[in-house]
Structure 1
C-alpha cells in the first residue's frame, strides 16, 4: 500500500509550478493509462478577499486495465485534507503535483471507481494570462472582485484535481461554486440552479452534459449581468445564447451579439455545420484577461473595441475553436495546428465572406509578414504544450490552408474541413448531440487525398514537417524562363507545387515537371510570379528564420 503524505503543518508553497503541473497533455503514466474518466464533480468555495479556494473534487473512473491505483494531478501548493475511495478514507501520495491513490484491492476492466479529494489553498496566479495561465484575481472599476481562470497551457490541475490530459474527456461534469452574495459564477454547460447559502454566500450549480477537454473548464466570477438570447441554428434548433457582462458594459455586449456574433455564426454554419453545443449554450463572459476558448463559455476581454477588420477578431477566433479544438480535438500536442491553424484561417476566410478579396488578401499578407519559419508546424517526438504552441502553427498553418484551398478549390476544401470536424461532409441537418472526435495531421491528409482523388502528401510534408519554406528560383534568357523549386530540407525531392504566372497581364498556372517549369517568353515581356500570392513560399520580404525577432 501507499502511505499518505501529510501536507499540512510544515507544508510550504512551492515558488514555481512543478514540471508535471506546468504543462498539460504530457504523456500519460502507466497508472493513468489504466482508467478512463467518466464523470467529474467539482464543488468549490472561492474566497476573493483571501485569494483562496477550498473544496471537493470527485472523479468517477472506468477501469481499462487491471490496477490497484488511480492517478490524478493537482498543484502541490494545495493542501489535501482527505482522500476517499467509495466514501472510505484511502492512502495516497502527493508529490510534484501527482496524486496516486490506493484502491486497497485490484480493480478489473469494466469496474467503476469513485474517488474524492478534499483540498484547499492559494492557487497559482497567472503571470501573463492567457499565455502564462492560472487564476486571475482582479477588480472592476467599482472595486468589486473580478476573477477568471485561464489554463490552456498548464491545465486543470492548477485549481482542481483532474487527469489533465485532453485525450481523456469526461462524459459529463458538474461544477458547483460558492461565492460571496452579489457575485455570479459563469462556467461551462447549463446553469441548473442558483442557491442562497448561509454566511451571505451563493452557490452556482452548472452541469456540462457533453465531453470537454479538462483545460477548457473555467471559473469566471464577478458582478455580472446575464444577457440571454436565442440563435436559430442551421439545423433549426433554437440555441440558448448567454453573455455574462459587467453591468456597465451590458449594452455593448448586447450590441456585439446582435451586430457581429450572429453574422459570424451564420458564416461558420454555412461552411462547416451546426454550432456544436446547441443542447448546452453559446456562451461568452467578460474577463480581466484577453480571452480563451472555454467550451460553451468563451472568455472575452478585448473591451468591445472596433477592429480595422470590420468585425471582432477575438470573438471570431474563440468561436472557431468551438469547432477546431473543442468538437475536433488533436490526438497529440504535435498536431496543435489543427486547432490554431484552422482557428487562425477562419478569420481571413470570414473577411472574404463578409468584405471580399481585398480584406482577405490584407489579412493573409499581414500574416505572411509575421511568419517565423524556425520550427516545423508538426514536430516529431515528444513535445510540451509550450513547444507545441509555437507562433507558426497559427499563421503558417493558416497559410498552408490558404494554398491548399487555392489548389483543390473551395468546394473540396470545405468538404475536407467538415469531414475533419464532423466525420462527414453533409452536415447542415445534423441533430444534437453532435459527436466529438480526435484527429491527427495524418487524418486530415488522408481526408484531403480521398476527397480529391489525388495524393497531396508532398504538400504537407514540406509545409508541416519542415521549418524552412520552399524557394522558387527564376533564370531568364532572351527567349526562355526557367523556374525551379528548391527545398533545402528535402534536397533531391521534387516539389510539385503549381504556380500562377502573369505574362503581360495574362495569368496562367504552370505545373513543374521534375521540379522545373519552362516558359517561352521574350526579354521584354513583363513577368509577375504568383501576383495574388496563392502559394506559400520563401520571399525576400521575410527572412528564413526570424528567431531573433
Structure 2
C-alpha cells in the first residue's frame, strides 16, 4: 500500500496545478493555491535568497501598511519568471529592477514577475517590490495568523504580527517557502507614530525622527539567515532593560522590551530567560545567534518564536497561562512561554524544516526542551514526570508528518508525541552523555540550515549507532501506539510487538520482579526463560508504548 500512497501523492501534486481541488490520502483537499505556496515551483527554483531590506510604514488608526521590500538574490539556474508571494487584501503594486518597472501577472496569492535584465548564473541582483494595504487581522493569534491591532491599558496602540501558519506573505511580499532563507540576513526599517516604538529582529542600529510626519523610523539589522515567519514587528509604548550572559561563545546581550506599566513584573518574571539560556546551551550547544543578540518582547497574544525577538504574552506567571500542561506540578516551576518559545531558537530558527510537513522538527524537539529544562535544574525524574504527563495531550488522530508540497502540517501531536518519541529514543541510547552530544551535534551539523526529516533521522541513527528507522516510522508516520503483548507461563516469558509497522523491532526495558531486563521484541513471538517463581512484569514507564498481558494480569 505504501507505493500506492506515494503514487497517489505524486499524481495529485502534478494534477493540482490544473485542478481546483484534490483529495489526499488522509482526506485533505488541496487547491492550486496550496500547491503554489507549498512547492518549489520553476519560478522559485532558479534563484537563491541572499538578503531582504524591508521598509514598512505602520498606520495604527487605519490598520494600514505600506512600503517596499528590496530583495537581493543569486541566480543559480536557468532563469524563468519569478514567483513572489503576497496575500490579499495586501496588494503588490509594483516591481522594479534596474530602474525599470516589470510586468506582474497576479494569480491569487502568487505573483509572477517577468524580468527584463539579463540574469547571469552566479551573479547577484536586486529587485524592489512595492506593497500596501490592510493585512488580515488575526482572530486568535498565534494559532490564527495575521496582524493584531490592540490598545494597552493607557489607550495607546499595541500591535504585532504572528503568522507562522498563514505565512509571512500575509503582510509583506517575499519568497514564502521555508526551504530558502536570506543567507545574509535582513534589514528592517519600520516607521511608527512618534509616541511609539518598534521592536524587531536583530540589533537596533538607527532611530530617525521624522518631525514633519510626527513619526519615528527604527532600523534593525539581522546578520544571520532567518526564516520568513520569524521576521516580526512589535509596536507599543515599550520600555527597555537588559543584562549580559556569559555563554559558550562569549558575552551575549539579552534585551527585554515590555509595556511601561509592566516593567517591575517583567524584571522578576524574565529571570527565567537567563536560566533558559544556561540549560539550553548545556543541552543544545551555543545560542545560535550571538551576532543578533537575544530579545524577549511583550506582545498582545500568547507568544511566538520570532528569531532573536521572541515574543511574550503569558501574563507574567508560571505555567501556560497559569496551568501545568503535564498535570504533575513540574510545569509550574517555569514560565512556559519563555522556555518553549526560546527553545525554538535552536529548533525552528537554527534548524528549520524545508517543508512544513516536517514541522515536528520545530515542535517535537522544542516540546521536549521543556523537560530538558527541568532535567537541568530539578533532575532526571522531574523531567520524566513532566514529559510523561504531557501524554494526556496526545490524540493519535493522524500522522505527525503532514503532506509534502502543499504547505500542510501534520497532527498537533507533533508537540508531545514528538517529545515522547525523543524521550523514548533517549532510553534506547541509554547513555545521557551520548544523547546530549547528539542534540548538540544536530545544532552543529545543521547550523543555520533548512533540513528534511530524513536528515534528522539519519543523523540520530548514525550517531546513536543503531537503526532507528522503524521507530521514526512508527511514531511519525503511523498513528498507532506499539503494544507490548506478553504472557508468563511456567517460568517462560512469551512476548512480541503488536499494533505496529511491519519492521518494528524497538528494544524495550522491563522490570521482572523488580529486576531490570532488556528485551528485543519483534512482531514475531519470542520466548525468554525466567525464574519459575516470577510473578510480575512492568514496562519501563519512559517508553511510549502500551502493554497487554494476553493471559490477563
Structure-2-length-normalised TM-score: 0.86
Task: Name the counterpart of 1:459.
Answer: 471
1:193 aligns with one of 206, 211, 229: 206
2:337 aligns with one of 314, 338, 342: 314
Task: Name the counterpart of 1:12.
Answer: none
Secondary structure, counterpart of 1:104 in structure 2: coil
Counterpart-to-counterpart distance in 2, 1:362 and 1:83: 55
CA gap of 1:383–1:93, structure 2 versus 1, over 3 A, is: closer
Secondary structure, counterpart of 1:128 in structure 2: coil
Task: Name the counterpart of 1:240.
Answer: 253
Decide whether the 8 Å contact of 1:20 with 1:98 is kept in 2: no
How many residue pairs match? The answer is 505
CA gap of 1:24–1:250, structure 2 versus 1, over 3 A, is: farther
Task: Name the counterpart of 1:139.
Answer: 151
Say if 2:425 is the partner of 1:412.
no
Counterpart-to-counterpart distance in 2, 1:277 and 1:325: 13
Counterpart-to-counterpart distance in 1, 2:80 and 2:470: 47
Say if 2:336 is the partner of 1:324.
no
CA gap of 1:369–1:262, structure 2 versus 1, over 3 A, is: same
Counterpart-to-counterpart distance in 2, 1:293 and 1:88: 38
Counterpart-to-counterpart distance in 1, 2:347 and 2:63: 34
1:97-127 CA distance string (max 9 Å, x none) = 2222222244231233222122211110112
Say if 2:409 is the partner of 1:395.
no
Secondary structure, counterpart of 2:289 in structure 1: coil
Task: Name the counterpart of 2:517.
Answer: 508
2:221 aligns with one of 202, 207, 213: 207
CA gap of 1:143–1:380, structure 2 versus 1, over 3 A, is: closer
Structure 2 counterparts to residues 276-355 of structure 1, below 5 A: 276-307=288-319, 308=329, 309=331, 310-355=333-378
Counterpart-to-counterpart distance in 1, 2:253 and 2:404: 42
Shift of 1:397: 0.9
Task: Name the counterpart of 2:451.
Answer: 439
Decide whether the 8 Å contact of 2:46 with 2:77 is kept in 1: yes
Counterpart-to-counterpart distance in 1, 2:138 and 2:34: 12
Shift of 1:442: 1.9
* Alignment gaps of 5+ in structure 1: 1-17, 425-434, 541-549
1:186-224 CA distance string (max 9 Å, x none) = 101110111110221111111111110111101100001
Decide whether the 8 Å contact of 2:202 with 2:222 is kept in 1: yes
Counterpart-to-counterpart distance in 2, 1:356 and 1:384: 39
1:334-372 CA distance string (max 9 Å, x none) = 322111110010111221222224422331222212222
Say if 2:546 is the partner of 1:538.
yes
Counterpart-to-counterpart distance in 2, 1:461 and 1:121: 45
Say if 2:505 is the partner of 1:496.
yes
1:81-103 CA distance string (max 9 Å, x none) = 43211222222122312222222
Counterpart-to-counterpart distance in 1, 2:356 and 2:233: 24
Shift of 1:519: 4.2
Shift of 1:446: 2.1
CA gap of 1:144–1:514, structure 2 versus 1, over 3 A, is: closer
1:149-186 CA distance string (max 9 Å, x none) = 00111111111110111111112211111111111101
Structure 1 stretch displaced more, 198-207 or 292-301: 198-207
Task: Name the counterpart of 2:233.
Answer: 219
2:387 aligns with one of 364, 387, 390: 364
Task: Name the counterpart of 1:518.
Answer: 527
Structure 2 counterparts to residues 117-156 of structure 1, below 5 A: 117-156=129-168
Aligned-pair Cα RMSD in Å: 2.3
1:397-453 CA distance string (max 9 Å, x none) = 1111111101102122222222221119xxxxxxxxxx4122222222222332233
1:444-466 CA distance string (max 9 Å, x none) = 22223322333222222222222
Counterpart-to-counterpart distance in 2, 1:79 and 1:440: 33
Counterpart-to-counterpart distance in 2, 1:49 and 1:513: 64
Task: Name the counterpart of 2:26.
Answer: none
Decide whether the 8 Å contact of 1:21 with 1:75 is kept in 2: no
Decide whether the 8 Å contact of 1:92 with 1:100 is kept in 2: yes
Shift of 1:257: 3.1
CA gap of 1:355–1:68, structure 2 versus 1, over 3 A, is: closer
CA gap of 1:522–1:65, structure 2 versus 1, over 3 A, is: closer
Counterpart-to-counterpart distance in 2, 1:69 and 1:499: 54
Decide whether the 8 Å contact of 2:497 with 2:523 is kept in 1: no
Counterpart-to-counterpart distance in 2, 1:239 and 1:80: 39
2:401 aligns with one of 339, 357, 378: 378
Structure 1 stretch displaced more, 170-179 or 300-309: 300-309
Counterpart-to-counterpart distance in 1, 2:451 and 2:490: 51
Counterpart-to-counterpart distance in 2, 1:150 and 1:24: 22
CA gap of 1:120–1:448, structure 2 versus 1, over 3 A, is: closer
Task: Name the counterpart of 2:188.
Answer: 175
Secondary structure, counterpart of 1:340 in structure 2: helix
Shift of 1:23: 9.4
Shift of 1:329: 1.2
CA gap of 1:320–1:168, structure 2 versus 1, over 3 A, is: same
Structure 1 stretch displaced more, 284-293 or 26-35: 26-35
Task: Name the counterpart of 2:83.
Answer: 71
* Alignment gaps of 5+ in structure 2: 1-29, 320-328, 549-553
